[in-house]
Structure 1
């Protein structure tokens, strides 16, 4: 697991190569504000090799945040991340490794009959109950979350992960009430608290797509304040004290998808019921949470010259559209790290070089939306 000393040592080794605030507080130390994601790519040996090489280069170049999930690339992504981290010249203790559990993973390739695979591999052995499933392949019941964590540790070949996210819990809203989803999250958080106490997890959180960005009345909406309250209850249940390990959220954020900053849809914990809501980023900042952005360059769509509105593009630093798009995400107040996935070494170098440019200050970022 990452340690304070190793994370700061990594920062000291690479800090002078980057712009201001490139390294930001995360967990016990600091992490690069450019992270490498592993979602994209076909589940093939060729992509495995390219992804492994890209992660290895990232770690040597000043990126010490690697994000994956149990289901990415049919389970291959975690194996590649683990191999790259274990084989790197960079100490494991200097790398923040995050993964996720929620979607049921395939085993290396997409099966011909996914429904039959889920039934035979998960339902019949009792790993998940049929009633726990949403959309046929998603579960956040505590038994499944714990199974997923164990599966991740096995595939990664690591003793612990630094952050474990419950993945897209809003998926469950298709089959159960919002209150029932909060109850499931609290039960899952209790399991993660116990695994945190055992040293298997450094921290945990939720990785979402819609939940914290959509309007309060939307069917896929979740209250971040309520999710936090459930984490606090889980911490108290496991004890001692009122400490808990809920430390991070992940959500999409980019110049074309800025709802987490622009939409005031979250209520402050314990606040006046008549008080104006705030954005997800503001609430996360007030709560002391780390925020990790996904889709930071729109899965490549914003890497094309002209894709960023000209007036916004003119405010951003960077030699390429991809760098400017990434620096927009890194500039948002409260953002800790912005993920971008690639297995292309040239793109990887371009993404890392975005960190040599300074992000916008808070006032300049606010001015973009005036």
Structure 2
């Protein structure tokens, strides 16, 4: 196991030797991070995809990307294993463990082949999960299972401490268990996470969500989630971040500025997933891109739009193809758009944004 975790001194050192534009260097809970991070969701569970990711992730670590995002379920753990190899590779090239920030997630059940057969052989028969704990035929957040996933992630990544651990998409359970039981389960998960912080297995934790903070029906209540963290860890809890999809198509986050206000009030950083909507942004009519400020390419404009969002810490983009990485890495060297440019860009694509000084108070 590689000892240590991301630190303020280490991450600042990283950007001195791997400089990016100052506006693209952000702060997350006391450590410096790149505004654009590396995602690892998509792709087959095969050697070819593993090698593609390994190449681009190594290049990224040498090019100003120090924030890496994965999950135990991504490609049936292949993504974590590859990232573990990359971390070792970066360290062998002189980049210290405390210079990079590693995030992973638990909640979805990893599987390969037929889901039912895989889950029975790997989890039910081994008493890691009870059948009644499997929700939506894919999800489990019992403390016993999450404890197992954290141990599995640590082994796959080869690190002593995970810098940021997310509870993954808890909203998928609400339709089956109801709201009160959902938050009871979130609190139980947070109790485990606080224990793991004490054991130095994770440094902090958060919630990653696809629909929970975008959709009203079946959504998540951030104030109730904060209450879960306070119940689990008191006022000195380690709940630090939420991850939400946002891009030129999925604009719900900025249509409801309550999330921004709550995140600021609760001292939470906002991370973004799917800034290019898993590559689907390129299907937009070119006229939509022409409404945005000029950039190196349509994809660069789409990324700059996301990275300019107020209160954004980092956005994570999967880049397993080296040509996509070479194109996207350019955004780290260019200045971020101003708030006014970003707001006018939102309005140009049909979303009116309330100016900062006019935001309504929380109710």
TM-score, length of structure 1 as denominator length: 0.88
Query: How far is 1:19 from its partner?
Result: 2.9
Does the CA contact (< 8 Å) of 2:35 and 2:314 recur in 1?
A: yes
Does the CA contact (< 8 Å) of 1:38 and 1:68 recur in 2?
A: yes
Cα distance in 2 between the residues matched to 1:39 and 1:303: 18
Does the CA contact (< 8 Å) of 1:165 and 1:206 recur in 2?
A: yes
2:357 maps to which residue?
none
2:87 is paired with a residue whose SS is: helix
1:365 maps to which residue?
342
Write the deviation string for residues 144-168 of structure 1: whole angstroms up to 9, x where unpaired.
1111101111111111110000000
2:294 is the counterpart of 1:290? no
- Pick from 5, 10, 15 the counterpart of residue 6 of structure 1: 10
Cα distance in 2 between the residues matched to 1:295 and 1:310: 17
Query: How far is 1:93 from its partner?
Result: 1.2
- Pick from 252, 255, 259 the counterpart of residue 259 of structure 1: 252
1:62 maps to which residue?
64
1:332 is paired with a residue whose SS is: coil
Write the deviation string for residues 53-112 of structure 1: whole angstroms up to 9, x where unpaired.
110000000000110000111110000001001111222211111000001112xxx22x
- Pick from 334, 338, 359 the counterpart of residue 311 of structure 2: 334
Cα distance in 1 between the residues matched to 2:246 and 2:133: 29
Which piece of structure 1 moves more, 142-151 or 60-69?
Answer: 142-151
1:93 maps to which residue?
98
Q: Mind listing any 5+ residue stretches in structure 2 that lack a counterpart?
A: 353-363
1:226 maps to which residue?
224
Query: How far is 1:310 from its partner?
Result: 4.3
2:62 is paired with a residue whose SS is: helix
Aligned residues: 340
Query: How far is 1:304 from its partner?
Result: 5.7
Does the CA contact (< 8 Å) of 1:153 and 1:161 recur in 2?
A: yes
Does the CA contact (< 8 Å) of 2:289 and 2:302 recur in 1?
A: no
Write the deviation string for residues 172-231 of structure 1: whole angstroms up to 9, x where unpaired.
11310111111101111011101101111111001100001112xx0x211011111111
Taking a change above 3 Å as real, the CA distance of residues 225 and 307 of structure 1, as seen in their structure-2 partners, is farther
Taking a change above 3 Å as real, the CA distance of residues 23 and 300 of structure 1, as seen in their structure-2 partners, is same
Q: CA RMSD in A?
A: 1.6
TM-score, length of structure 2 as denominator length: 0.90
- Pick from 110, 120, 124 the counterpart of residue 105 of structure 1: 110
